Amino acid sequence: MGKADLHIHTVYSDGSSSIEEVLHKSLAEGLDTIAITDHNEIEGAVKARELAERWGFNINVIIGEEITTSDGHVVGLFLKNRIRPLLTAEATVDEIHRQGGLAVAVHPFSVWLKLFKCGGVGTLVERLQFDAIETVNGSLTEGFSNVFTQKFNSKLRLAGVGGSDAHTPEAIGQGYTVFPGRGSVMLYSAIRNKTVQAQSGRSAGKALWDFLMKYLWGKMALYGPKGGAIDQMATS
Ligand SMILES: [Zn+2]
Ligand SMILES: [Zn+2]
């Protein structure tokens, strides 16, 4: 079986991972295929593919892009050229297909991301010609909307894919897709044939816990009153 992380950001958009870090961490996670999906940008993906080939890394890099459409985020995989942002989701999906790529409705029902105006396409996923839906998004905030998306897709029956949505090297592999065979060509067929399976690198409960620990606990430790929980923990 192949193992692919289909949603990775780098320093070429808002991620902190260099291309080198992405490749090293991906190998360490046992991924044979990755898609670099920077926001409205494919330069990092192109660089990653060149570097993987030059270094002889046993890893296939798919040129992807997470496109900001007027209806929410859409990922294009197997792209040839950058697609400009702020088209409608429908026009974006058409352009992905014109390039021979696959269109993925990523985090379609994310409540959290929607608050920051970077949600997904919602129920448009039913009406447009998407090739896949992201039923596992590895972000700390997405544990519960993943469950909703999986339930939604049990009727829709699109190919369900997983990706980490990693913005740091550590997060790579927190969501992934398994498929028969190995490498990007087999993955392409597996998405078309709906023989892919989305997997989570963490449980929904663990995701929430991590989130609370990282943000709330961290804030308390930094800004809480002297003698707060962190201080008590340190002395007990
Ligand atoms: Zn997004
Ligand atoms: Zn993303």
C-alpha of residue 120 to centroid of ligand 2, in Å:
10
C-alpha of residue 225 to centroid of ligand 1, in Å:
36
C-alpha of residue 93 to centroid of ligand 1, in Å:
15
Residue 115 confidence (pLDDT): 76
C-alpha of residue 7 to centroid of ligand 2, in Å:
6
Q: Which residue spans of the chain are classified as CATH 3.20.20.140?
A: 2-202
Kindly state the average pLDDT of the residues 192-197: 98
C-alpha of residue 56 to centroid of ligand 1, in Å:
31
C-alpha of residue 73 to centroid of ligand 1, in Å:
5
Residues in the chain: 236
Residue 211 confidence (pLDDT): 66
Say if residue 90's pLDDT is above 60: yes
C-alpha of residue 101 to centroid of ligand 2, in Å:
18
Kindly state the average pLDDT of the residues 4-30: 97
Residue 235 confidence (pLDDT): 44
Residue 234 confidence (pLDDT): 47
Kindly state the average pLDDT of the residues 214-222: 58
pLDDT tens per residue, range 29-69: 999 999 999 999 999 999 999 999 999 999 999 999 999 99
C-alpha of residue 231 to centroid of ligand 2, in Å:
36
pLDDT tens per residue, range 124-156: 999 999 999 999 999 988 888 999 999 999 999
- The conformation of residue 213, written as its DSSP 8-state character, comes to I
Say if residue 227's pLDDT is above 50: no
- With 0-12 CB in 10 A as exposed, 13-18 as middle and 19+ as buried, what is 118? middle
C-alpha 8/C-alpha 138 separation (Å) is 10
Terminal-residue alpha carbon distance, the chain: 47
Ligand nearest to the CA of 114: 1
Ligand nearest to the CA of 7: 2
* Ion ligand 1 nearby residues (CB, 5 A): 73
Tell me the backbone φ, ψ of residue 137, rounded to 5 degrees.
-115, 125
Fold (CATH) for 2-202: TIM Barrel (3.20.20)
* Packing angle of the helix pair 19-28, 43-54 (nearest 10 deg): 60
Which range among 5-9, 198-202, 230-234 has the greatest average pLDDT? 5-9
pLDDT tens per residue, range 55-66: 999 999 999 999
Say if residue 236's pLDDT is above 50: no
Give, in degrees to the nearest 5, the angle at Cα 95 between 94 and 97. 65
- The conformation of residue 141, written as its DSSP 8-state character, comes to G
Torsion of the alpha carbons at 27, 31, 32 and 33, rounded to the nearest 10: -110
pLDDT tens per residue, range 157-188: 999 999 999 999 999 999 999 999 999 999 99
Ligand nearest to the CA of 107: 1
C-alpha of residue 200 to centroid of ligand 2, in Å:
16
C-alpha of residue 106 to centroid of ligand 1, in Å:
7
Q: Residue 229 — very low, low, confident or very high, per pLDDT cuts 50/70/90?
A: very low
- The conformation of residue 30, written as its DSSP 8-state character, comes to T
Residue 114 confidence (pLDDT): 75
Query: Which pTM was predicted?
Result: 0.86
- Tell me the average pLDDT of the chain: 90
C-alpha 193/C-alpha 160 separation (Å) is 11
C-alpha of residue 199 to centroid of ligand 1, in Å:
18
Residues 6+ apart with CB under 8 A from 4: 31, 32, 33, 34, 35, 176, 177, 178, 179, 184, 187
